Amino acid sequence: MRTPFTRRPSLRYLFLVASIALLAACSRPTPPEEPVRAVKLLTVGVGALQSSLEYSGEVRARVESRLGFRVAGKIVQRQAELGQRVKAGQVLAQLDPRDYQLATDAARAQLASATTQRDLAAADYKRYQTLKDQNFISGAELERRESTLKAAQAALDQARAQLSSQGNQTAYTTLVADVSGVVTGIEAEPGQVVAAGTPVVRIAQDGARDVVFAVPEDKVAQIRPGQEVVARVWSGGAQLAGQVREVAASADAATRTYQVKVALEGAEVPPLGSTVYVTPKALSHAGAVAIKLPTSALRQEGQTTAVWVYDPATSTVKSQVVQIATADGNDAVVASGLTPGMQVVATGVHVLSPGQKVMVYQPKTAVAPVPKAQTAINSVALPAAPAASAAAAASSAK
Protein backbone atom coordinates (compact mmCIF):
# COMPACT_ATOMS: atom_id res chain seq x y z
CA MET A 1 0.00 0.00 0.00
CA ARG A 2 1.39 3.42 -1.10
CA THR A 3 1.35 6.28 1.30
CA PRO A 4 0.53 9.92 0.22
CA PHE A 5 4.11 10.93 0.83
CA THR A 6 5.50 8.47 -1.69
CA ARG A 7 3.31 9.52 -4.64
CA ARG A 8 5.07 10.76 -7.67
CA PRO A 9 4.17 14.27 -8.85
CA SER A 10 1.82 14.36 -11.77
CA LEU A 11 2.89 15.24 -15.26
CA ARG A 12 0.83 18.43 -15.15
CA TYR A 13 2.71 19.64 -12.12
CA LEU A 14 6.07 18.90 -13.70
CA PHE A 15 5.11 20.77 -16.88
CA LEU A 16 4.06 23.82 -14.86
CA VAL A 17 7.34 23.94 -13.00
CA ALA A 18 9.31 23.59 -16.21
CA SER A 19 7.34 26.39 -17.86
CA ILE A 20 7.95 28.76 -14.95
CA ALA A 21 11.68 27.98 -15.03
CA LEU A 22 11.80 28.53 -18.78
CA LEU A 23 10.02 31.88 -18.55
CA ALA A 24 12.32 33.00 -15.79
CA ALA A 25 15.34 32.13 -17.88
CA CYS A 26 14.06 34.02 -20.97
CA SER A 27 13.04 37.27 -19.24
CA ARG A 28 15.35 40.32 -19.80
CA PRO A 29 17.44 41.42 -16.87
CA THR A 30 16.69 44.79 -15.35
CA PRO A 31 19.08 47.37 -16.88
CA PRO A 32 21.44 48.95 -14.39
CA GLU A 33 20.81 52.52 -13.44
CA GLU A 34 22.88 55.10 -15.28
CA PRO A 35 25.64 56.36 -13.02
CA VAL A 36 25.61 59.98 -11.96
CA ARG A 37 28.30 61.72 -13.93
CA ALA A 38 30.70 64.14 -12.34
CA VAL A 39 31.11 67.42 -14.22
CA LYS A 40 33.40 70.40 -13.92
CA LEU A 41 31.60 73.68 -13.53
CA LEU A 42 32.62 77.25 -14.06
CA THR A 43 30.79 80.36 -12.96
CA VAL A 44 29.95 82.83 -15.72
CA GLY A 45 31.59 86.20 -15.23
CA VAL A 46 32.84 89.17 -17.22
CA GLY A 47 36.45 89.83 -18.13
CA ALA A 48 38.56 92.12 -20.25
CA LEU A 49 39.34 91.13 -23.81
CA GLN A 50 42.99 90.66 -24.65
CA SER A 51 43.10 90.13 -28.41
CA SER A 52 42.77 92.61 -31.27
CA LEU A 53 42.46 92.36 -35.04
CA GLU A 54 45.77 92.06 -36.85
CA TYR A 55 46.34 92.13 -40.60
CA SER A 56 49.29 91.07 -42.71
CA GLY A 57 50.71 93.70 -45.05
CA GLU A 58 53.68 94.44 -47.26
CA VAL A 59 56.12 97.33 -47.28
CA ARG A 60 55.99 99.27 -50.53
CA ALA A 61 57.34 102.54 -51.85
CA ARG A 62 54.92 105.43 -51.66
CA VAL A 63 55.66 106.23 -55.32
CA GLU A 64 56.38 103.37 -57.74
CA SER A 65 56.85 104.30 -61.41
CA ARG A 66 56.45 102.07 -64.44
CA LEU A 67 58.84 103.49 -67.01
CA GLY A 68 58.53 102.86 -70.73
CA PHE A 69 59.74 104.24 -74.05
CA ARG A 70 57.87 107.21 -75.49
CA VAL A 71 58.30 105.76 -78.98
CA ALA A 72 57.81 102.30 -80.47
CA GLY A 73 60.64 100.04 -81.48
CA LYS A 74 62.74 96.96 -80.83
CA ILE A 75 64.72 96.72 -77.59
CA VAL A 76 68.37 96.11 -78.39
CA GLN A 77 69.83 96.48 -74.90
CA ARG A 78 68.63 96.53 -71.29
CA GLN A 79 71.07 97.74 -68.65
CA ALA A 80 68.72 97.64 -65.64
CA GLU A 81 68.51 94.48 -63.51
CA LEU A 82 66.03 93.43 -60.87
CA GLY A 83 66.96 94.80 -57.43
CA GLN A 84 69.51 97.25 -58.84
CA ARG A 85 69.73 100.69 -57.31
CA VAL A 86 69.70 103.40 -59.97
CA LYS A 87 70.18 107.15 -59.96
CA ALA A 88 68.37 109.87 -61.87
CA GLY A 89 69.67 110.08 -65.46
CA GLN A 90 71.05 106.54 -65.53
CA VAL A 91 70.39 104.59 -68.77
CA LEU A 92 67.97 101.69 -68.27
CA ALA A 93 67.33 100.36 -71.80
CA GLN A 94 67.74 101.27 -75.47
CA LEU A 95 65.76 100.83 -78.70
CA ASP A 96 67.09 100.43 -82.22
CA PRO A 97 67.54 104.12 -83.25
CA ARG A 98 68.29 103.71 -86.99
CA ASP A 99 64.81 104.52 -88.29
CA TYR A 100 64.62 107.59 -86.08
CA GLN A 101 68.08 108.73 -87.16
CA LEU A 102 67.03 108.50 -90.82
CA ALA A 103 63.91 110.50 -90.02
CA THR A 104 66.11 113.11 -88.34
CA ASP A 105 68.32 113.34 -91.42
CA ALA A 106 65.22 113.84 -93.58
CA ALA A 107 63.98 116.60 -91.27
CA ARG A 108 67.39 118.25 -91.43
CA ALA A 109 67.26 118.20 -95.23
CA GLN A 110 63.79 119.71 -95.13
CA LEU A 111 65.14 122.46 -92.91
CA ALA A 112 67.93 123.22 -95.39
CA SER A 113 65.45 123.38 -98.27
CA ALA A 114 63.14 125.68 -96.34
CA THR A 115 66.04 127.92 -95.43
CA THR A 116 67.00 128.29 -99.09
CA GLN A 117 63.43 129.07 -100.09
CA ARG A 118 63.19 131.69 -97.36
CA ASP A 119 66.46 133.35 -98.40
CA LEU A 120 65.33 133.46 -102.03
CA ALA A 121 61.98 134.99 -101.08
CA ALA A 122 63.73 137.55 -98.86
CA ALA A 123 66.07 138.63 -101.66
CA ASP A 124 63.19 138.83 -104.12
CA TYR A 125 61.18 140.97 -101.70
CA LYS A 126 64.13 143.30 -101.16
CA ARG A 127 64.57 143.83 -104.89
CA TYR A 128 60.89 144.55 -105.41
CA GLN A 129 60.98 146.93 -102.46
CA THR A 130 63.61 148.97 -104.32
CA LEU A 131 61.53 148.99 -107.48
CA LYS A 132 58.49 150.16 -105.55
CA ASP A 133 60.48 153.01 -104.07
CA GLN A 134 61.30 154.12 -107.64
CA ASN A 135 57.64 153.72 -108.70
CA PHE A 136 58.48 151.07 -111.29
CA ILE A 137 55.95 148.56 -109.90
CA SER A 138 52.63 148.78 -108.21
CA GLY A 139 51.96 148.26 -104.54
CA ALA A 140 49.99 145.07 -105.29
CA GLU A 141 53.07 143.44 -106.82
CA LEU A 142 55.12 144.24 -103.73
CA GLU A 143 52.43 142.76 -101.50
CA ARG A 144 52.58 139.49 -103.46
CA ARG A 145 56.33 139.30 -102.91
CA GLU A 146 55.80 139.99 -99.21
CA SER A 147 53.27 137.17 -98.97
CA THR A 148 55.72 134.82 -100.66
CA LEU A 149 58.38 135.77 -98.12
CA LYS A 150 56.05 135.14 -95.18
CA ALA A 151 55.08 131.72 -96.56
CA ALA A 152 58.74 130.82 -96.98
CA GLN A 153 59.46 131.94 -93.41
CA ALA A 154 56.58 129.84 -92.09
CA ALA A 155 57.84 126.80 -94.01
CA LEU A 156 61.25 127.37 -92.48
CA ASP A 157 59.82 127.54 -88.96
CA GLN A 158 57.88 124.35 -89.62
CA ALA A 159 60.95 122.52 -90.87
CA ARG A 160 62.95 123.72 -87.86
CA ALA A 161 60.25 122.48 -85.45
CA GLN A 162 60.02 119.18 -87.32
CA LEU A 163 63.75 118.69 -86.94
CA SER A 164 63.58 119.47 -83.24
CA SER A 165 60.70 117.04 -82.74
CA GLN A 166 62.46 114.33 -84.70
CA GLY A 167 65.54 114.88 -82.61
CA ASN A 168 63.48 114.30 -79.50
CA GLN A 169 62.09 111.09 -81.02
CA THR A 170 65.63 109.88 -81.53
CA ALA A 171 66.53 110.72 -77.94
CA TYR A 172 63.45 108.82 -76.74
CA THR A 173 65.02 105.58 -77.98
CA THR A 174 67.12 105.68 -74.80
CA LEU A 175 65.21 105.02 -71.58
CA VAL A 176 66.71 106.83 -68.59
CA ALA A 177 65.67 106.91 -64.93
CA ASP A 178 64.00 110.17 -64.02
CA VAL A 179 64.32 109.53 -60.25
CA SER A 180 66.59 107.60 -57.93
CA GLY A 181 65.29 104.32 -56.56
CA VAL A 182 65.36 100.55 -56.74
CA VAL A 183 64.34 98.43 -59.72
CA THR A 184 61.46 96.28 -58.49
CA GLY A 185 60.30 94.82 -61.80
CA ILE A 186 61.43 93.99 -65.33
CA GLU A 187 58.58 93.75 -67.83
CA ALA A 188 60.39 93.61 -71.19
CA GLU A 189 63.47 91.87 -72.53
CA PRO A 190 65.98 92.60 -75.34
CA GLY A 191 64.68 91.62 -78.75
CA GLN A 192 61.09 92.44 -77.86
CA VAL A 193 59.19 94.97 -79.97
CA VAL A 194 57.25 97.31 -77.73
CA ALA A 195 54.70 100.02 -78.42
CA ALA A 196 55.01 103.55 -77.13
CA GLY A 197 54.22 103.66 -73.43
CA THR A 198 54.60 99.93 -72.78
CA PRO A 199 56.08 99.44 -69.25
CA VAL A 200 59.64 98.14 -69.39
CA VAL A 201 61.13 98.81 -65.94
CA ARG A 202 59.40 99.39 -62.61
CA ILE A 203 61.20 101.61 -60.09
CA ALA A 204 60.37 102.20 -56.44
CA GLN A 205 61.40 105.74 -55.72
CA ASP A 206 63.51 106.56 -52.70
CA GLY A 207 61.73 108.30 -49.87
CA ALA A 208 58.68 107.51 -47.77
CA ARG A 209 57.44 103.94 -47.35
CA ASP A 210 53.92 102.59 -46.88
CA VAL A 211 52.47 99.38 -45.53
CA VAL A 212 49.72 98.06 -47.77
CA PHE A 213 47.16 95.58 -46.43
CA ALA A 214 43.56 94.58 -47.14
CA VAL A 215 40.52 94.63 -44.85
CA PRO A 216 37.12 92.95 -45.38
CA GLU A 217 33.93 94.79 -46.17
CA ASP A 218 32.55 94.67 -42.63
CA LYS A 219 35.62 96.44 -41.18
CA VAL A 220 36.47 99.07 -43.78
CA ALA A 221 33.81 101.49 -42.48
CA GLN A 222 35.70 101.75 -39.16
CA ILE A 223 38.99 102.80 -40.75
CA ARG A 224 39.56 106.46 -41.61
CA PRO A 225 42.61 108.38 -42.87
CA GLY A 226 44.64 109.76 -40.00
CA GLN A 227 43.92 106.91 -37.55
CA GLU A 228 46.87 105.48 -35.66
CA VAL A 229 48.12 101.94 -36.20
CA VAL A 230 50.88 99.79 -34.72
CA ALA A 231 53.07 97.74 -37.05
CA ARG A 232 55.54 94.99 -36.25
CA VAL A 233 57.95 93.32 -38.63
CA TRP A 234 57.57 89.58 -39.08
CA SER A 235 61.33 89.03 -38.82
CA GLY A 236 61.43 90.76 -35.42
CA GLY A 237 62.39 94.16 -34.15
CA ALA A 238 60.71 97.04 -32.40
CA GLN A 239 57.18 98.11 -33.14
CA LEU A 240 56.63 100.95 -35.58
CA ALA A 241 54.01 103.67 -35.37
CA GLY A 242 52.05 104.75 -38.39
CA GLN A 243 48.94 106.50 -39.64
CA VAL A 244 46.33 105.48 -42.16
CA ARG A 245 47.09 107.51 -45.29
CA GLU A 246 44.65 106.13 -47.83
CA VAL A 247 41.60 103.83 -47.95
CA ALA A 248 40.47 102.41 -51.28
CA ALA A 249 37.13 103.71 -52.50
CA SER A 250 36.14 100.40 -54.12
CA ALA A 251 36.74 96.73 -53.38
CA ASP A 252 39.16 94.55 -55.28
CA ALA A 253 37.38 92.65 -58.05
CA ALA A 254 38.98 89.31 -57.13
CA THR A 255 39.24 89.33 -53.32
CA ARG A 256 36.39 91.75 -52.52
CA THR A 257 38.59 93.46 -49.94
CA TYR A 258 39.60 97.09 -49.56
CA GLN A 259 43.21 98.20 -49.80
CA VAL A 260 44.55 100.38 -46.99
CA LYS A 261 47.85 102.26 -47.05
CA VAL A 262 49.63 103.20 -43.83
CA ALA A 263 52.46 105.73 -43.72
CA LEU A 264 55.29 104.49 -41.51
CA GLU A 265 57.04 106.86 -39.14
CA GLY A 266 60.59 106.66 -37.88
CA ALA A 267 64.08 106.40 -39.32
CA GLU A 268 64.36 102.60 -39.35
CA VAL A 269 61.88 101.58 -42.03
CA PRO A 270 61.79 97.89 -43.04
CA PRO A 271 63.13 97.08 -46.50
CA LEU A 272 60.84 96.87 -49.50
CA GLY A 273 58.75 93.72 -49.68
CA SER A 274 59.00 92.97 -45.96
CA THR A 275 56.03 91.33 -44.28
CA VAL A 276 54.53 93.55 -41.59
CA TYR A 277 51.66 92.84 -39.21
CA VAL A 278 49.41 95.86 -38.72
CA THR A 279 47.05 96.39 -35.77
CA PRO A 280 44.63 99.28 -36.34
CA LYS A 281 43.70 100.87 -33.03
CA ALA A 282 40.21 101.57 -34.35
CA LEU A 283 39.61 97.79 -34.61
CA SER A 284 41.22 96.86 -31.28
CA HIS A 285 38.99 95.27 -28.62
CA ALA A 286 41.64 95.13 -25.91
CA GLY A 287 40.25 96.23 -22.55
CA ALA A 288 36.58 95.80 -23.48
CA VAL A 289 34.48 93.84 -20.96
CA ALA A 290 32.61 90.74 -22.15
CA ILE A 291 31.59 87.21 -21.14
CA LYS A 292 34.14 84.61 -22.24
CA LEU A 293 33.91 80.81 -22.21
CA PRO A 294 36.43 78.13 -23.13
CA THR A 295 35.65 76.36 -26.37
CA SER A 296 35.35 73.04 -24.48
CA ALA A 297 32.08 74.32 -22.95
CA LEU A 298 30.43 74.87 -26.34
CA ARG A 299 28.55 72.30 -28.38
CA GLN A 300 26.64 72.35 -31.64
CA GLU A 301 22.89 71.92 -31.38
CA GLY A 302 21.53 71.86 -34.91
CA GLN A 303 22.37 75.22 -36.45
CA THR A 304 22.94 76.92 -33.09
CA THR A 305 25.57 76.89 -30.38
CA ALA A 306 24.57 75.85 -26.85
CA VAL A 307 26.00 75.18 -23.39
CA TRP A 308 24.84 73.09 -20.42
CA VAL A 309 23.61 75.20 -17.50
CA TYR A 310 23.73 73.57 -14.07
CA ASP A 311 20.71 73.83 -11.76
CA PRO A 312 21.93 73.48 -8.15
CA ALA A 313 18.39 72.94 -6.80
CA THR A 314 17.84 69.71 -8.74
CA SER A 315 21.49 68.85 -9.57
CA THR A 316 20.53 68.59 -13.25
CA VAL A 317 21.65 70.27 -16.45
CA LYS A 318 19.64 71.99 -19.14
CA SER A 319 20.58 73.23 -22.60
CA GLN A 320 20.99 76.97 -23.14
CA VAL A 321 21.44 78.50 -26.62
CA VAL A 322 24.12 81.21 -26.80
CA GLN A 323 25.26 83.67 -29.45
CA ILE A 324 29.01 83.82 -30.13
CA ALA A 325 30.36 87.22 -31.18
CA THR A 326 34.05 86.57 -31.80
CA ALA A 327 37.10 84.82 -30.40
CA ASP A 328 39.54 86.12 -27.82
CA GLY A 329 42.61 83.92 -27.97
CA ASN A 330 41.44 80.40 -27.06
CA ASP A 331 38.16 81.63 -25.56
CA ALA A 332 34.84 82.41 -27.21
CA VAL A 333 33.15 85.75 -26.54
CA VAL A 334 29.45 85.28 -25.76
CA ALA A 335 27.17 88.00 -27.08
CA SER A 336 23.89 86.79 -25.56
CA GLY A 337 22.31 83.84 -23.78
CA LEU A 338 24.17 83.94 -20.46
CA THR A 339 24.26 86.23 -17.46
CA PRO A 340 26.97 86.55 -14.82
CA GLY A 341 26.51 84.11 -11.95
CA MET A 342 25.28 81.15 -13.99
CA GLN A 343 27.14 77.87 -13.72
CA VAL A 344 27.91 76.01 -16.94
CA VAL A 345 29.58 72.68 -17.63
CA ALA A 346 33.15 73.21 -18.74
CA THR A 347 34.11 69.77 -20.11
CA GLY A 348 32.45 66.59 -21.32
CA VAL A 349 29.47 68.40 -22.81
CA HIS A 350 28.91 65.80 -25.55
CA VAL A 351 27.97 62.96 -23.16
CA LEU A 352 25.18 64.77 -21.33
CA SER A 353 21.47 64.95 -22.06
CA PRO A 354 18.76 67.44 -21.03
CA GLY A 355 17.57 66.90 -17.45
CA GLN A 356 20.39 64.50 -16.63
CA LYS A 357 21.39 64.34 -12.99
CA VAL A 358 25.03 65.17 -12.37
CA MET A 359 27.36 65.74 -9.49
CA VAL A 360 29.94 68.48 -9.14
CA TYR A 361 33.48 67.24 -9.60
CA GLN A 362 35.64 67.77 -6.54
CA PRO A 363 39.37 67.67 -7.23
CA LYS A 364 41.34 65.39 -4.97
CA THR A 365 43.86 67.15 -2.75
CA ALA A 366 47.26 65.60 -2.41
CA VAL A 367 48.14 64.45 1.13
CA ALA A 368 51.65 65.13 2.32
CA PRO A 369 53.54 61.84 2.94
CA VAL A 370 54.03 60.92 6.59
CA PRO A 371 57.62 60.31 7.68
CA LYS A 372 56.99 56.74 8.84
CA ALA A 373 60.58 56.00 9.65
CA GLN A 374 60.84 58.93 12.04
CA THR A 375 57.51 58.01 13.64
CA ALA A 376 58.66 54.45 14.16
CA ILE A 377 61.87 55.62 15.76
CA ASN A 378 60.00 57.92 18.13
CA SER A 379 57.35 55.36 19.02
CA VAL A 380 59.86 52.62 19.77
CA ALA A 381 62.95 54.35 21.08
CA LEU A 382 61.26 56.71 23.54
CA PRO A 383 59.33 54.10 25.56
CA ALA A 384 62.49 51.97 25.78
CA ALA A 385 64.22 54.45 28.06
CA PRO A 386 62.00 53.82 31.13
CA ALA A 387 62.37 50.06 30.63
CA ALA A 388 66.11 50.36 30.54
CA SER A 389 66.18 52.44 33.76
CA ALA A 390 63.88 49.91 35.47
CA ALA A 391 66.23 47.06 34.60
CA ALA A 392 69.17 49.03 35.96
CA ALA A 393 67.31 49.66 39.25
CA ALA A 394 66.50 45.94 39.62
CA SER A 395 70.10 44.95 39.10
CA SER A 396 71.30 47.43 41.68
CA ALA A 397 68.78 46.10 44.23
CA LYS A 398 70.20 42.67 43.79
> What CATH number should be reported for the domain holding residue 114?
1.10.287
Pick the range with the lowest mean pLDDT from 112-121, 308-317, 375-384: 375-384
The verdict on 295 and 355 lying in the same domain is yes
> Looking at the domain assignment, is residue 113 inside a domain?
yes
Quick check: 174 pLDDT over 60? yes
**Does a structural domain hold residue 264?**
yes
Q: Which residues contact 180 (CB under 8 A, 6 or more apart)?
A: 85, 86, 87, 88, 205, 206
Q: What is the percent of the chain with per-residue pLDDT over 70, rounded to a whole number?
A: 81
Q: Which residue has the higher pLDDT, 351 or 386?
A: 351
Is 238 in the same domain as 260? yes
Cα separation, 41 vs 348, whole angstroms: 11
Mean pLDDT of the chain: 83
317 phi/psi in degrees, rounded to 5: -120, 150
pLDDT over 90 percentage in the chain:
45
Domain membership flag for residue 68: no
User: Quick one: average pLDDT of 222-244?
Assistant: 87
Domain of residue 314, residue span: 288-360
The alpha carbon of 312 is separated from its chain's Cα centroid by a whole number of angstroms, namely 46
Number of domains, the chain: 3
**372 in any annotated domain:** no
The mean pLDDT value for 168-192 works out to 93
Are the C-beta atoms of residues 213 and 283 closer than 8 Å to each other? Answer: no
344 and 297 in a common domain: yes
- Which residues, other chains included, contact 145 with Cβ-Cβ below 8 Å and sequence gap of 6+? 121, 124, 125, 128, 129
Q: Where does a domain end: 170, 196, 227?
A: 170
Angstrom distance (rounded) from CA 29 to CA 234 = 67
**pLDDT above 60 for 208:** yes
Cα distance between the two ends of the chain? 93
Number of Cβ within a 10 Å radius of residue 386 = 9
In a domain, 382, yes or no: no
pLDDT tens per residue, range 356-383: 888 888 776 544 454 443 333 333 333 4
For residue 320, being part of any structural domain is answered with yes
d(CA 72, CA 251): 35
Task: Give the Cα separation of 205 and 62 in Å (integer).
Answer: 8
Q: What is the CA radius of gyration of the chain?
A: 50
Is 34 inside any structural domain? Answer: no
Q: Average pLDDT in the 50-66 region?
A: 87
pLDDT of amino acid 22: 63
Position 310 pLDDT exceeds 60: yes
Specify whether the CB–CB gap between 279 and 310 falls below 8 A: no
Q: Which CATH number belongs to the domain containing residue 354 in this structure?
A: 2.40.420.20
Within 10 angstroms of residue 184's Cβ, the number of other Cβ atoms is: 19
Instruction: Return all residues near 335 (Cβ < 8 A) that are at least 6 apart.
Output: 322, 323, 324, 325
Amino acid 27: pLDDT: 55
